[in-house]
Structure 1
């Protein structure tokens, strides 16, 4: 059936409308971020005299120095990295080994263990705040970073096992059978065959888990008390209390807090998209 003369015009109009609406939504989403970035470089006198939403008439890097040193962002960022990096490495290592065993071998109560792991992630964390706080006190690790690391690993490993289970189960069993014929043991199969094939899934989960752990606030204020041990998210709240109306310093602290996760996202952005489909194949 031949296209009518108005069909190309209609198609171009539809395409233009789509790009216009998508561009408008993107600009609307980016506007607050741009406002925070611009505010972080303005002086307090400029904001006080002309208003927060006015055109900037000043430029200064002193705001970042105040947030970094006087606001405690430096130590808070170190604390966040001390917690986030080991958590990501340990939780993915444990999850990968557990998912390998559950997906490649007929273990007893395999489905029950998977359902328990999934069910644990469905519990609202608010009902566990007091038990976790009391347990950390009984173990003598309350107000220590190791307590926060343990909590993040304990509550994260179940979800990552469930996701990696779906990915590893989709790997053809013939690959494993060929390795067994060649004399490979379970550890060699896991390390040399399954783990390299699961790199896309692990990369996506690494970026996601780093973002979740780095941005977490709830568990930090549950098992930590000292200001010197708080991560960047809790320190940002303290910064807002310290510099109540100095929006330029607060904006600079927000940029510092967001920088690591933005860097990780830009590095692994392809895997973020691929990660949306992880575990979907049964």
Structure 2
């Protein structure tokens, strides 16, 4: 006699229905704990120099000279930060850096968005060749053209109200121009790729409504590129802010140097307090950290939105 499948696993209940077996837990995947541990170790290794600089800046030099930097502190204070700010003249140098970085970032993004729109959205003859030219410019080492630029800036005149040196050399305009030139290629490359991911139907609908080229760029395309522009603005400000090579070459007046050069004022001729120098380095790095924190949402969106088509 064939057993009833409904009563073969009878559990004693009146209905005689089978009790479903307990579901097995899925096996734990390998690497569940390994990946977080690896990422945590990489993060600690990346942040270790910064954390050591902050720790050293809070301790007196006499204490670290006696017990070492990896010893337990007797006391912590913010005296070095006050001393580093006043002795290095950081406020003046920070103003010089803003006078270079802010105009350079704005002009670079404005011009790069024009070129990227023409290359990616308009049928421009030789557009791909133009994009390759801008991209190839990023591969050129800046040290190769230092001497030609130095000779060229000495020959370009400026009115007295723009530069007291009467030439492009030894003026903040030299730093602005050279940063715009070197950052333009990267911005054009990123923006053109980002604009290609935007739906073509939006511009086609705008053309049907009678929108011209300027309206297509300014009112439609540029607002959609806001995340990419914010991401590029963060990167460009950080790169220009941390640059020291161009200022070292094109600026001879110490009063016009950027903030990165203020750390040299904390180095003595015969003795250097490295705890004081660490405090100055932390103060110099704070503006870039604040810029990233303020634009973090747009920065992450700019890195992810251009990953897909449409």
- TM-score, length-scaled by structure 1: 0.89
Partner of 1:49: 66
- Structure 1 position 280, deviation (Å): 6.4
Partner of 1:225: 252
Provide the secondary structure at the position in 2 that maps to 1:143: coil
Judged with a 3 Å threshold, the aligned counterparts in structure 2 of structure 1 residues 20 and 112 are, in CA distance, closer, same or farther, namely closer
- Structure 1 position 235, deviation (Å): 2.3
Q: Over aligned residues, Cα RMSD in angstroms? A: 2.4
Higher relative contact order (CA 8 A, sep 6+): 1
Structure 2 segments unaligned to the other structure (5+ residues): 1-22, 157-166
Higher percent of residues as helix: 1
Aligned pairs for 1:155-194 within 5 A: 155-194=182-221
Partner of 2:27: 7
Judged with a 3 Å threshold, the aligned counterparts in structure 2 of structure 1 residues 243 and 191 are, in CA distance, closer, same or farther, namely farther
- Structure 1 position 96, deviation (Å): 0.9
Aligned pairs for 1:1-282 within 5 A: 7-8=27-28, 11=29, 14-139=31-156, 140-241=167-268, 244-276=271-303
> For 1:242 and 1:276, how far apart are their aligned partners in 2?
45
Contact 2:179/2:240 (<8 A) preserved? yes
Deviation readout 1:101-130 (Å, 9 max, x if unpaired): 222211122122111111111111111111
> For 1:50 and 1:190, how far apart are their aligned partners in 2?
62
Deviation readout 1:183-203 (Å, 9 max, x if unpaired): 222111111110111111111
Report the structure number with the largest CA radius of gyration.
Answer: 2
Structure 1 segments unaligned to the other structure (5+ residues): none
- Structure 1 position 52, deviation (Å): 2.5
Judged with a 3 Å threshold, the aligned counterparts in structure 2 of structure 1 residues 242 and 204 are, in CA distance, closer, same or farther, namely farther
- Structure 1 position 148, deviation (Å): 0.3
Contact 1:40/1:251 (<8 A) preserved? yes
